[in-house]
Amino acid sequence: MKISIERGTLLKALSQAQSVVERRNTIPILANVLIEAEGANVSFRATDLDIEVVDRAPAMVERAGATTVSAVMLHEIVRKLPEGALVSLAEDGAAGRLTITAGRSTFNLATLPKEDFPVMANAEYASNFSAPAPLLRRLFDKAKFAISTEETRYYLNGVYLHVSTGESGPVLRAVATDGHRLARIDAPLPEGAAGMPGVIVPRKTVNELRKLLDDDEAQIAVSVSETKVRFATPVLTLTSKVIDGTFPDYTRVIPTGNTRRLEVDAAEFARAVDRVATVSSERSRAVKLSLDEDRLVLSVNAPDSGAAEEELAVAYGDERLEIGFNAKYLLEIASQVDRENAVFLFNSSGDPTLMREGNDTSAVYVVMPMRV
């Protein structure tokens, strides 16, 4: 195999691939990227056995072929080469070496046989549809903060993507929860997605997928089966196993009878919470919200470090309420608001609280209170 490729193109393709590779591997081949050159294209394939990324890039292919080489090392070399450099990759199969040349730099890297590289088996996908990148980006970006990190409840370690019924008809819905907070995000159902099986997309896949979704113009081809999910653009394909488990019935924890309504400027609220939480104890990070007519007092009382309080002008017309929350959860939920105002709906100091943006019900968040 012998190819020539522009540094910027190579770096972009490699950075997508190498980010999937686990830094600590017991199987040496999993630290490698599979480079396949054919026609006028070269593809870079990397996997951790749960996720596979294939990135395609145009190149001058002098001799077609394939090999595998350390993904992280090749990425580091290319990253340190000067901008605009023409990079040549030449494989010597007999010696088991890949020679990288650019300008006056030459590198020799050890290769492993391409036959040993595990390629993810092609699945039969039950549902195939196309969705604009901004739609998927919104679904995953707004839900992912609530993904659980507890390994024992593995079925919560991802975003539950499924078809549901919203206020105005069928929607594509993303839900994530860790038991303390929940995010439920709806988007218009793309054409052809109606029969899609519900799948739990793992946290790592959600983070890797984010890189596919930066281009606002891109259309993402989505394929879903009971065990796998695939997201593809013309140059990049990400295939992932889904979490084998049943996502709990989240509708039971979304309160419907909360009537005490607080409307507050989301950015101002987040900044105030952040300020008063400075003195809270690291472990609990509890912030107390005291609500009175058109007035909200945020307070923290940490016996070992001090106290803080801040008052905000808000829209609130119900009876007095005192309720406590974890400051981190409040900040994360408030930072999801794109518009100016966040609307909180309370019931009592011991019941879950609902938050949404203005009157928009396509993004709903639930947070559990704590004793303060």
All structural domains of the chain with their residue ranges: 2-116, 127-252, 255-367
Predicted local distance difference test score (pLDDT) of residue 60: 97
Predicted local distance difference test score (pLDDT) of residue 93: 85
| CA-CA-CA-CA torsion sign (134, 139, 142, 145) | negative
Predicted local distance difference test score (pLDDT) of residue 280: 86
Q: What pTM value is reported for the model?
A: 0.93
pLDDT over threshold 80, residue 325: yes
Number of other CB atoms surrounding residue 333 within 10 Å: 25
Confidence class of residue 168 from pLDDT cuts 50, 70 and 90? confident
**Rounded distance between C-alpha atoms, residue 291 and residue 370, angstroms:** 16
Instruction: Tell me if 63 sits within 8 A of 15, measured CB to CB.
Output: no
Virtual torsion, Cα 154, 157, 161, 164, nearest 10 deg: 70
Write down the CATH superfamily of domain 2-116: DNA Polymerase III, subunit A, domain 2 (3.10.150.10)
Q: For the segment 94-134, what is each residue's pLDDT rounded down to a tens digit?
A: 899 999 999 999 999 999 999 999 998 887 999 999 999 99
State mean pLDDT over 155-177.
Answer: 96
How far is CA 154 from its chain centroid? 17
Q: Which residue has the tokens 């406590």?
A: 324
pLDDT over threshold 80, residue 284: no
State mean pLDDT over 207-224.
Answer: 92
* Beta-strand relationship, 97-102 and 105-112: antiparallel
State mean pLDDT over 208-214.
Answer: 90
Q: Show the tokens assigned to 337.
A: 């608001």
Q: Read off φ and ψ for residue 216, nearest 5 degrees.
A: -65, -25
Fold exhibited by the domain 255-367: DNA Polymerase III; Chain A, domain 2 (3.10.150)
pLDDT over threshold 80, residue 281: no
| CA-CA-CA-CA torsion sign (121, 136, 75, 37) | positive
pLDDT over threshold 90, residue 305: no
pLDDT over threshold 90, residue 298: yes
Predicted local distance difference test score (pLDDT) of residue 216: 85
**Rounded distance between C-alpha atoms, residue 5 and residue 55, angstroms:** 14
Q: For the segment 258-276, what is each residue's pLDDT rounded down to a tens digit?
A: 999 999 999 999 999 999 9
Q: For the segment 30-86, what is each residue's pLDDT rounded down to a tens digit?
A: 999 999 999 999 999 999 999 999 999 999 999 999 999 999 999 999 999 999 999
Q: Give 349's DSSP letter.
A: T
Query: How high is the mean pLDDT of the chain?
Result: 94
Residues 6+ apart with CB under 8 A from 259: 318, 345, 347
Instruction: Tell me if 293 sits within 8 A of 317, measured CB to CB.
Output: yes
What are the percentages of helix, strand and coil residues in the chain, rounded to 5?
A: 25, 45, 30
Residues 6+ apart with CB under 8 A from 59: 3, 4, 5, 9, 37, 40, 41, 42
**Rounded distance between C-alpha atoms, residue 169 and residue 149, angstroms:** 33
Secondary structure in 3-state letters for 28-55: HHHHEEEEEEECCEEEEEEECCCEEEEE
**Rounded distance between C-alpha atoms, residue 116 and residue 32, angstroms:** 11
CATH number of 127-252: 3.10.150.10
Predicted local distance difference test score (pLDDT) of residue 371: 85
Predicted local distance difference test score (pLDDT) of residue 122: 83
Predicted local distance difference test score (pLDDT) of residue 189: 97
